[in-house]
């Protein structure tokens, strides 16, 4: 919470709550809108946190296919959550916990457990008040100790699974002082064929919200361009809010520019005035400006990184894309990520890696694509291409080295091939008796001890690091001796567990059992990702070449098989 010297904020004013809902369609950018609002309030000196409500019946996102909800983002306490919480951590520069993700599965599970324990003293357990009370409790507990809590309700207004949450919000607003609650509704403003911005979808969406008993205080229109003044006036008239409470959120080149865009629209100032916090905020000239400086860094050239995965979906590797972007901010280059299907590399399509400045093999599960990932590792190792392996990518690097350098024929991970003659990757001992899939892996933040005088030490600048994990398998201790005198060394360990590997004879060959992408932030890039991009630039300098011009790359994107 801001100190008196920072903002003169009076804690007795209580928590402020911003509820963000969406209409018309999902995927409009509610999360980015919410995170951007939080970023601006943080710049103004306030302590901000966030909550993501996911109305699905899953307890958490851990067992979901990436095609359903994108990547599974892992929090420091081991919570497996929706990728929107990754955006909140990156935009707000905070570490969140599982308590900041509310799901229907969590809520119903808790209420049913209480009922089974007899805590309701014979009452009939119902959606109202028991489920809605639990939702409100979770929101208040997550907000404790902060000035502003932003709550994003997943899905769209009108979804049957979201109704208990909207009812809980209605009750919440009834229980809190009016000046402590603000409702933001994000909706689509499409163009007609004749180029007119159409407000009817917004009108119907707001009508649905109001039928539930909620009145938006702010409407954010998602459109290709800024909303025309006439469009804003029409939305205000039909949705019963002031014209200056209608804001544009147009398409931008980079999501990190959204805070700058809505700041120009005056969204932060409107929120502060609604909450009666404008006088307590830092003066505009004294507000933090680091975000603008970081995300508007002028770039000189482009580097091309191959991401060898099995999901043709950027959201499946969201944190990797963002971590590369953060590294690019730091060194002043654009990083173009090219998805390369792992399935095809196993069939001799390594030509897709030619011309790439670096290779990343990300995490994942299952046999599909594993042979292609091994071939990608081999290509990077044999051709001195900067390489970063993450979780499964780390494990596949071990398998590749065992097969092609140590001569352990048919070496593999026991996850992929149970009867492999050389299980250089095997299941964690504590996983032997585990039957349930959800929430049972080695999860969350764990400390890795780093050997001095290694590349890992140079990257982290310390003899230890704390990073987030999500895995069931690890390097088999029975094969430690086989690697003992090899150029491939394990430079980071956690007891008897191998956490970081590097290849001493290679320009940049690093693998991590953990997921460093989850702790990367604008202005604080993940060390392994920063090291990868710096290694690419060093190779360019050594070869006497410059990174490709960004404009020139734009002309050739159409020739790339799949480019994000």
Based on the residue annotation, tell me whether 517 is a catalytic residue of this protein.
Answer: yes
Q: Are the CB atoms for 547 and 534 separated by under 8 Å?
A: no
pLDDT band at 549 (very low <50, low <70, confident <90, very high): low
- Residue 279 assigned to a binding site: no
Based on the residue annotation, tell me whether 257 is a catalytic residue of this protein.
Answer: no
Residue 557 DSSP label:
G
Work out the average pLDDT over 36-51. 97
Looking at residue 435, its pLDDT comes to 73
- Cβ atoms within 10 Å, residue 244: 13
What contacts 158, CB < 8 A, 6 or more positions away?
Answer: 23, 208
Work out the average pLDDT over 211-228. 96
Both tokens of 417, joined, read 């091939």
- Residue 26 assigned to a binding site: yes
Report pLDDT digits (tens) over 291-312.
Answer: 999 999 899 999 999 999 998 8
Work out the average pLDDT over 51-76. 91
What contacts 93, CB < 8 A, 6 or more positions away?
Answer: 42, 521, 523, 524
**Rounded to whole angstroms, what are the CA distances from 318 to 37, 54, 112, 438, 564?**
21, 18, 35, 21, 11
Comparing C-alpha atoms, which of 90, 5, 94, 91 is closest to residue 45?
5
**Rounded to whole angstroms, what are the CA distances from 160 to 4, 52, 430?**
45, 18, 40
Domains, in order of start, for the chain: 16-295 (3.40.50.300), 302-540 (3.40.50.880)
Q: In the chain, count of helices (H) and strands (E)?
A: 20, 21
Of all residues in the chain, the percent with pLDDT exceeding 70 is 94
Question: What is the chain's mean pLDDT, rounded?
Answer: 91
- Residue 299 assigned to a binding site: no
Residue 115 above 50 pLDDT?
A: yes
Both tokens of 174, joined, read 């009834």
- Residue 28 assigned to a binding site: yes
- Residue 161 assigned to a binding site: yes
E strand residue ranges, 192-286: 218-223, 246-250
Residue 51 above 80 pLDDT?
A: yes
- Cβ atoms within 10 Å, residue 321: 19
Looking at residue 220, its pLDDT comes to 97
- Residue 107 assigned to a binding site: no
Based on the residue annotation, tell me whether 515 is a catalytic residue of this protein.
Answer: yes
The catalytic residue among 263, 391, 471, 506 is: 391
Q: Give the number of residues written for the chain.
A: 564
Looking at residue 10, its pLDDT comes to 58
Looking at residue 546, its pLDDT comes to 72
Residue 147 CA to residue 9 CA, distance in Å, equals: 9
Looking at residue 431, its pLDDT comes to 78
- Residue 200 assigned to a binding site: yes
Place of tokens 């086989």: 482
The catalytic residue among 89, 330, 400, 517 is: 517
- Residue 150 assigned to a binding site: no
Looking at residue 438, its pLDDT comes to 80
Looking at residue 39, its pLDDT comes to 97
Report pLDDT digits (tens) over 488-514.
Answer: 999 999 999 999 999 999 999 999 999
Look up the pTM and report it.
0.91
Containing H/E element for 186?
A: strand 181-188
**Rounded to whole angstroms, what are the CA distances from 257 to 145, 248, 317, 442, 517?**
29, 13, 20, 35, 21
Residue 315: is it exposed, middle or buried by C-beta count within 10 angstroms (0-12/13-18/19+)?
A: middle
The catalytic residue among 185, 274, 412, 515 is: 515
- Residue 534 assigned to a binding site: no
- Residue 203 assigned to a binding site: yes
Work out the average pLDDT over 408-422. 93
Looking at residue 554, its pLDDT comes to 44
Report pLDDT digits (tens) over 117-134.
Answer: 999 988 999 999 999 999
**Rounded to whole angstroms, what are the CA distances from 112 to 126, 136, 439?**
10, 17, 19
- Residue 37 assigned to a binding site: no
């Amino acid at each position: 919470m801001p100190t008196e010297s920072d903002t003169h904020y009076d804690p007795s004013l209580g928590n402020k709550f911003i509820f963000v809902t969406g209409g018309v369609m999902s995927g409009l950018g509610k999360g980015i809108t919410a995170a951007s609002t939080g970023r601006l309030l943080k710049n103004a000196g306030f302590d901000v946190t966030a909550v993501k409500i996911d109305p699905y019946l899953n307890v958490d996102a851990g067992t979901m296919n990436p095609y359903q909800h994108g990547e599974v983002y892992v929090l420091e306490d081991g919570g497996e959550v929706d990728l929107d919480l990754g955006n909140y951590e990156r935009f707000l520069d905070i570490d969140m916990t599982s308590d900041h993700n509310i799901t229907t599965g969590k809520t119903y599970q808790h209420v049913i457990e209480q009922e089974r324990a007899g805590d309701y003293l014979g009452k009939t357990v119902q959606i109202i008040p028991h489920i809605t009370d639990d939702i409100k409790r979770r929101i208040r507990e997550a907000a404790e100790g902060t000035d502003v809590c932003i709550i994003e309700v997943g899905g769209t207004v009108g979804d049957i699974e979201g109704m208990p949450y909207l009812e809980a919000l209605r009750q919440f607003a009834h229980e809190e002082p009016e000046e402590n609650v603000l409702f933001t509704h994000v909706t689509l403003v499409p163009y007609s064929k004749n180029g007119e911005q159409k407000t009817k979808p917004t009108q119907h969406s707001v009508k649905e919200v109001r039928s539930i008993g909620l009145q938006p205080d702010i409407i954010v229109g998602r459109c290709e361009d800024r909303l025309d003044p006439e469009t804003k006036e029409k939305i205000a008239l039909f949705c019963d809010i002031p014209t200056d409470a209608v804001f544009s959120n147009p398409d931008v080149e980079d999501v990190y520019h959204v805070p700058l865009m809505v700041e120009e629209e005056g969204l932060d100032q409107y929120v502060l005035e609604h909450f009666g916090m404008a006088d307590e905020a830092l003066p505009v000239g004294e507000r933090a400006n680091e975000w603008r400086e970081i995300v508007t860094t002028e770039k000189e050239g482009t580097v091309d990184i191959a991401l060898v995965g099995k999901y043709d979906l950027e959201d499946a590797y969201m944190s990797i894309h963002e971590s590369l972007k953060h590294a690019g901010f730091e060194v002043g280059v654009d990083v173009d990520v090219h998805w390369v299907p792992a399935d095809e590399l196993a069939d001799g399509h390594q030509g897709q890696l030619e011309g790439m400045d670096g290779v990343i093999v990300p995490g994942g599960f299952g046999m599909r694509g594993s042979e292609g990932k091994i071939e990608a590792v081999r290509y990077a190792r044999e051709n001195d291409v900067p390489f970063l392996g993450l979780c499964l990518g780390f494990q596949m690097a071990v398998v590749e080295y065992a097969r092609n350098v140590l001569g352990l024929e048919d070496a593999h991970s026991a996850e992929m091939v149970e009867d492999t003659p050389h299980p250089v990757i095997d299941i964690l001992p504590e996983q032997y008796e585990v039957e349930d899939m959800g929430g049972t892996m080695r999860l969350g933040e764990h400390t890795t001890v780093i050997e001095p005088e290694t590349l890992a030490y140079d990257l982290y600048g310390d003899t230890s690091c704390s990073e987030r994990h999500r895995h069931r398998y690890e390097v088999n201790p029975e094969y430690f001796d086989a690697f003992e005198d090899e150029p491939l060394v394990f430079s980071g360990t956690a007891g008897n567990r191998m956490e970081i590997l590097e290849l001493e004879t290679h320009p940049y060959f690093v693998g991590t059992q953990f997921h460093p992408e989850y702790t990367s932030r604008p202005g604080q890039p993940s060390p392994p990702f920063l090291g990868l991009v710096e290694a690419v630039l060093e190779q360019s300098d050594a070869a006497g070449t410059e990174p490709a011009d960004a404009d020139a790359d734009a002309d050739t994107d159409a020739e790339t098989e799949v480019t994000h």
